[in-house]
């Protein structure tokens, strides 16, 4: 049995355990009283906040139950936010407005109006809040990449200029995603399209120019998987060049580096799977030791969802991929408490009903599996999640409707307690977002989180409703069933070799298209209320001019000429380390100082071969 099979058993065992404990709380008086006491204690310690209207609300809303069995079912089965099994959220307070801001004006009133212990707690809270940094990072993290490094740099400054923290998210162009240099034959038209072009670590220096890469208020996310170890090495080399070697342990951010989902859905992988996984594990082993604040893999369902998977398939494949990485890293002898807390996740959020609770169920399964199968501590049990609203749900016809679609998806994403979020721009069916629409996309998040009171005052604002519970239960059953299917092949990797996930995703994609045109899935302005005359809208297209593309090619030529001799030696050394089977990541960090992305990819492919696409 692979670890995935054990996870299925662990979740089933845990569910049984909860039921037994519920029974015990009802029959064993002492235990039942303990649970009731704990419940009352949680309630008593819950701070009270005040909305701008003056309305008082507890910062954690809890179900109105007082019977020992039900209390046990809630505390163990769902758990409080920030506590095992983390159904409601990885952290206790998520998006709540820091209490300090409101407490100043309201604590006195609390004292007068409070009943059953709230008075005391109002004061406690004010103290707690004072000892806590008020300035938390915004969850907003917008994906950008266009043209050359300096163009994307400008966009980054545009997006984060008004934020407390700079949370950047980087999109790369096609040649970069495939580890190809901009001067390769046949790719000129692709330079800087759909993302930015990176050929050398000098481009990486330009990309984050003006940002303090070692600051606790800075983090960078890079969406790239196939050549991720090379790009990660370039990031480190660029940071060292600007801030010296001492910056390395302080670097914060995420690199996607998810090979499994590439092979299952997104197709941006360049080495055979086994070799890709080896390079990936080399990188994870090094970064989890040397860069303890970096997330070296973002286990991604987004592209699985975008490729057509149903929400359950998306979550099941993503979480099972996560367990497969954990199994590989544990097999390398890396302690679970070194790598566990550094695994992060990325899910799509569309408009299907499953999205009401998809992330909640994923968090719960992950926590149980990591604790009971891998023996991880609390930090390694937390499913830390980035969400992106669904690009596939956006429609070209009357594209301004996409604002509404994205707003609804954002609402679902925050109801699911995502840790960071990207909201798509309405113009994305046509183009890399223009400034006009990306600004509205960013504002959408701020309207929900800052302007509206939905997520500011109370945790569990919407969780625990009968509908959400019903979706949760159905999704959990379906996800475990998917796990069993994968396990029947012998685990994630053998299932991939049998094309299991790919064929399931392709079938789901085809069904989705059929449903659009047979009326099962009405798409507004496309198949329903589509009476407007069919006209191509006037959208500002973001494209990279020819001269810029040529500039990138020219810069690369200068770099290659300058390093002609050194790069040869560096590639030979890299080849030697790769052949030896040793961890090649440190050598890669040296190599990128004199070699381009394409030079390194090419040399590695000579040794390990090319990825052979699965149809």
Binding site for other proteins (CB under 8 A): 173-175, 177-178, 180, 185-191, 193-194, 262, 266-268, 272, 275, 306-308, 395-397, 399, 429-432, 498, 506, 509-510, 513-514, 517, 526, 536, 539, 541, 543, 607-610, 612-615
What tokens appear for 132 in the block? 């806590």
Cis? peptide before 362, omega within 30° of 0: no
Complex with other proteins: residue 91 or 188, whichever CB lies closer: 188
Complex with other proteins: residue 307 or 480, whichever CB lies closer: 307
Q: How far is the CB of 529 from other proteins (least distance, A)?
A: 14
Residue 297: which of 377, 234, 224, 368 has the closest Cα?
Answer: 224
In angstroms, what CA-CA distances link 136 with 97, 164, 181, 413? 9, 8, 39, 19
Q: Is 112 exposed, middle or buried (0-12, 13-18, 19+ CB in 10 A)?
A: exposed
> Do β-strands 143-144 and 166-171 pair in parallel, antiparallel, or remain unpaired?
parallel
Residue 404: which of 426, 421, 420 has the closest Cα?
Answer: 426
DSSP-H helix ranges across 332-460: 336-339, 358-372, 378-381, 402-415, 435-446
CB count, 10 Å around CB of 436?
12
Q: How far is the CB of 186 from other proteins (least distance, A)?
A: 5
Name 299's bridge partners: 345
Sole residue written with tokens 């690009």: 391
What tokens appear for 110 in the block? 């609390």
b (16+ CB within 10 A) / e for 308-346: bbbbbbbbbbbbbbbbbbbbbbbeeebebeebbbbbbbb
> Do β-strands 56-58 and 48-50 pair in parallel, antiparallel, or remain unpaired?
antiparallel
Residue 419's SS3 state is coil
Answer yes or no: are the C-beta atoms of 552 and 148 closer than 8 Å: yes
Q: How far is the CB of 534 from other proteins (least distance, A)?
A: 8
What tokens appear for 370 in the block? 């990591």
Answer yes or no: are the C-beta atoms of 58 and 46 closer than 8 Å: yes
Complex with other proteins: residue 274 or 554, whichever CB lies closer: 274
CA distance 366 to 371: 8
CA distance 420 to 219: 12
Complex with other proteins: residue 381 or 601, whichever CB lies closer: 601
DSSP-H helix ranges across 332-357: 336-339
Complex with other proteins: residue 30 or 541, whichever CB lies closer: 541
CA distance 156 to 170: 9
Residue 228's SS3 state is helix
CA distance 323 to 493: 11
CA distance 205 to 207: 5
Answer yes or no: are the C-beta atoms of 381 and 371 closer than 8 Å: yes
DSSP state of 140: B
Complex with other proteins: residue 69 or 226, whichever CB lies closer: 226
- Taken in order 598, 601, 605, 606, is the CA torsion positive or negative? positive
Residue 196's SS3 state is strand
Name 220's bridge partners: 168, 253
Name 598's bridge partners: none
Complex with other proteins: residue 30 or 615, whichever CB lies closer: 615
């Amino acid at each position: 049995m692979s670890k995935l099979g054990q996870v299925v058993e662990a979740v089933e065992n845990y569910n049984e355990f909860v039921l037994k404990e519920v029974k015990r709380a009802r029959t064993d008086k002492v235990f039942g009283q303990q649970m009731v006491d704990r419940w009352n204690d949680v309630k008593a310690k819950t701070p009270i906040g005040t909305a701008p209207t003056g309305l008082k609300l507890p910062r954690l809303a809890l179900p109105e139950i007082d019977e020992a069995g039900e209390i046990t079912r809630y505390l163990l089965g769902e758990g409080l936010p920030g506590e095992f099994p983390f159904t409601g959220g990885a952290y206790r307070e998520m998006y709540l407005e820091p209490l300090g801001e409101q407490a100043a004006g309201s604590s006195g009133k609390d004292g007068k109006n409070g009943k059953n212990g709230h008075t005391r707690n109002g004061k406690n809270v004010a103290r707690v809040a004072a000892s806590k940094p008020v300035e938390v990072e915004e969850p907003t993290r917008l994906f950008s990449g266009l043209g050359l490094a300096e163009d994307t740099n400008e966009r980054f400054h545009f997006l984060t200029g008004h934020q407390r923290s700079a949370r950047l998210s980087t999109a790369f162009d096609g040649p970069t995603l495939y580890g190809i240099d901009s001067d390769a034959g046949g790719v000129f038209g692709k330079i800087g399209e759909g993302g930015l072009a990176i050929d050398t670590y000098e481009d990486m220096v330009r990309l984050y120019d003006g940002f303090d890469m070692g600051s606790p208020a800075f983090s960078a996310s890079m969406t790239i998987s196939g050549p991720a170890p090379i790009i990660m090495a370039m990031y480190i080399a660029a940071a060292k060049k600007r801030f010296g070697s001492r910056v390395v342990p302080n670097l914060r951010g995420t690199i996607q580096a998810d090979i499994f989902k590439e092979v299952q859905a997104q197709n941006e992988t360049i080495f055979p799977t086994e070799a890709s996984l080896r390079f990936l594990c080399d990188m994870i082993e090094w970064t989890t030791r040397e860069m303890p604040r970096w997330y070296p893999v973002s286990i991604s369902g987004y592209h699985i969802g975008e490729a057509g998977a149903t929400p359950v398939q998306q979550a099941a494949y993503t979480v099972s991929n996560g367990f497969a990485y954990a199994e590989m890293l544990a097999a390398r002898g890396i302690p679970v408490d070194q790598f566990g807390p550094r695994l992060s996740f990325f899910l799509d959020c569309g408009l299907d009903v499953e999205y009401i609770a998809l992330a909640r169920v994923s968090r719960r399964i992950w926590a149980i599996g990591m604790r009971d199968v891998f023996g991880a501590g609390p930090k390694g049990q937390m499913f830390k999640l980035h969400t992106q609203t669904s690009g596939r749900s956006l429609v070209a016809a009357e594209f301004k409707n996409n604002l509404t679609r994205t707003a609804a998806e954002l609402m679902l994403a925050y109801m699911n307690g995502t840790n960071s979020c990207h909201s798509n721009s309405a113009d994305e069916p046509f183009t890399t977002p223009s400034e006009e629409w990306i600004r509205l996309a960013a504002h959408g998040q701020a309207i929900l989180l800052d302007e509206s009171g939905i997520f500011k005052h109370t945790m569990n604002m919407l969780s625990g409703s009968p509908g959400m519970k019903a979706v949760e239960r159905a999704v959990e059953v379906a996800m475990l069933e998917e796990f069993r299917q994968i396990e029947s092949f012998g685990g994630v990797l053998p299932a991939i070799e049998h094309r299991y996930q790919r064929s399931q995703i392709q079938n789901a994609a085809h069904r989705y298209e059929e449903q659009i045109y047979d009326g099962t899935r009405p798409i507004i302005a496309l198949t329903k209320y589509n009476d407007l005359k069919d006209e191509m809208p006037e959208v500002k297209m973001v494209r990279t001019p020819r001269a810029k593309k040529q500039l990138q090619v020219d810069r690369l030529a200068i770099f290659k000429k300058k390093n002609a001799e050194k790069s040869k030696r560096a590639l030979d050394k890299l080849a030697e380390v790769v052949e030896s089977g040793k961890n090649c990541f440190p050598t890669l960090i040296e190599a990128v100082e004199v070699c381009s992305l394409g030079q390194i990819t090419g040399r590695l492919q000579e040794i390990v071969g090319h990825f052979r696409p699965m149809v």
